Amino acid sequence: MQVVMCAGAGQLSVQDHPIPELSADMIRAKVAFGGICGSDLHYYQHGGFGTVRVKEPLALGHEVSGVVDAVGADVEGRYVGERIAISPSRPCGHCRFCQLGIHNQCLNMRFYGSAMPFPHIQGAFCEYILLHPYQVHAIADHVTLSEAALAEPLSVGLHAIQRAGGVLGAKVLVTGCGPIGSLLIGALRRAGAELIVAADVAALPLKCAMDMGADLAINLATEPDALAAYKADKGYFDVVFEASGSAPAFLNALDVVRARGVVVVIGVGAEVHIPLSQLVGKEVDVRGTFRFHQEFATAVRFLNDRLVDGRPVITGVEPVRNALAAFDMASDKSKSLKVQLDFA
């Protein structure tokens, strides 16, 4: 079977590996589509991010959909040919955080395509993959397998909304309108946000943000001072979701969020000097958000019920044999949002 492997910065290849053998308690799926995520790009472009480095060949990928290929003898309720979204979240269920119900913080998490632990956790950009039954979520007949691969980034947005503490009737700013930011906007619309303002430095993600339900799009490349009016009287927005990973964007968020408002940080990458006097004086809550777990089932339901239509986010699909071209395409944020690999 074909597997997309990364051995370090600039070292991407499609390799032939054996098809995994099925065990009695597992499900085997043939992967259909896989979305290239920012973390996949970091591994390919830089060999990692922050202190996380690729130390051995790593199969990339965690945003995948597929079709059930075989069902273990002890598995009930699943059938060959079933079309599925695949959750990459595999917590241990036993550590103190799992026991507290905080599964995304599991101390022994085996999240697909991660170089955080060593040995690394191999990813899902492979033609066939073994799954625990809880990872398998059926998709509706009208949902394409390409759309189903969006369940993972949509789950990230849903978890971010949960971390915000709810957005019903809220005035919201989203900075960074790539795939996660744009899918987040779709979820915010369904969660009852009163006003959604989208900000980015490129036209393509802002168009997508509007397609996903934003009320206003601000291009900070052409209008660098467009957020200044929102700073007056101790800020305007009830909640700001910072999804770009940019230090200036985070500092802007502190300026435009209202007193006792909430800033949820999704994007990573920047080192930021935090003005504590502003944080204290406005009593701003800054909250991190990391991955998801329970939200995956909700994301699939949103896609199945068309509560969120993620199709505007998908800007390119390439056959897996062209993985290098697909990764280069995904790297150009002015021309691409979500680029997917087709394993057919």
Please give the chain's pLDDT, 344 residues, in tens. 999 999 999 999 999 999 999 999 999 999 999 999 999 999 999 999 888 999 999 999 999 999 999 999 999 999 999 999 999 999 999 999 999 999 999 999 999 999 999 999 999 999 999 999 999 999 999 999 999 999 999 999 999 999 999 899 999 999 999 999 999 999 999 999 999 999 999 999 999 999 999 999 999 999 999 999 999 999 999 999 999 989 999 999 999 999 999 999 998 776 888 888 888 999 999 999 999 999 999 999 999 999 999 999 999 999 999 999 999 999 998 899 999 999 98
SS3 200: strand
Residues 217 and 321 in one domain: no
For residue 302, being part of any structural domain is answered with: no
For residue 295, being part of any structural domain is answered with: no
d(CA 269, CA 209): 22
For residue 103, being part of any structural domain is answered with: yes
Number of domains forming the structure of the chain? 2
Residues 10 and 142 in one domain: yes
d(CA 223, CA 252): 14
Residues 214 and 337 in one domain: no
CATH of the domain at 265: 3.40.50.720
Residue 57: the pLDDT is 96
Contact 65, 149 (CB under 8 A): yes
Residues 137 and 12 in one domain: yes
Residues 144 and 269 in one domain: no
Q: Return the structure tokens found at 323.
A: 């993985």
CATH of the domain at 128: 3.90.180.10
Other residues' Cβ atoms within 10 Å of the Cβ of residue 45: 16
Residues 216 and 337 in one domain: no
Contact 319, 339 (CB under 8 A): no
- Note the pLDDT tens digit of each residue in 153-178: 999 999 999 999 989 999 999 999 99
d(CA 2, CA 14): 6
For residue 128, being part of any structural domain is answered with: yes
For residue 300, being part of any structural domain is answered with: no
Residues 214 and 259 in one domain: yes
List Cβ neighbours of 332 (8 Å cut-off, separation of 6 or more): none
> Can you count the helices (H) and strands (E) in the chain?
10, 18
Domain interval for residue 259: 156-288
For residue 296, being part of any structural domain is answered with: no
Contact 154, 67 (CB under 8 A): no
H or E element at residue 130: strand 128-131
For residue 299, being part of any structural domain is answered with: no
Residues 323 and 231 in one domain: no
d(CA 97, CA 113): 21
Q: Return the structure tokens found at 217.
A: 């799009």
Residues 132 and 225 in one domain: no
Residues 250 and 179 in one domain: yes
Residue 333: the pLDDT is 85
Cis peptide before 119 (omega within 30 of 0): yes
For residue 294, being part of any structural domain is answered with: no
Residue 272: the pLDDT is 84
Residues 24 and 133 in one domain: yes
- Note the pLDDT tens digit of each residue in 215-250: 999 999 999 999 999 999 999 999 999 999 899 999
Residues 81 and 190 in one domain: no
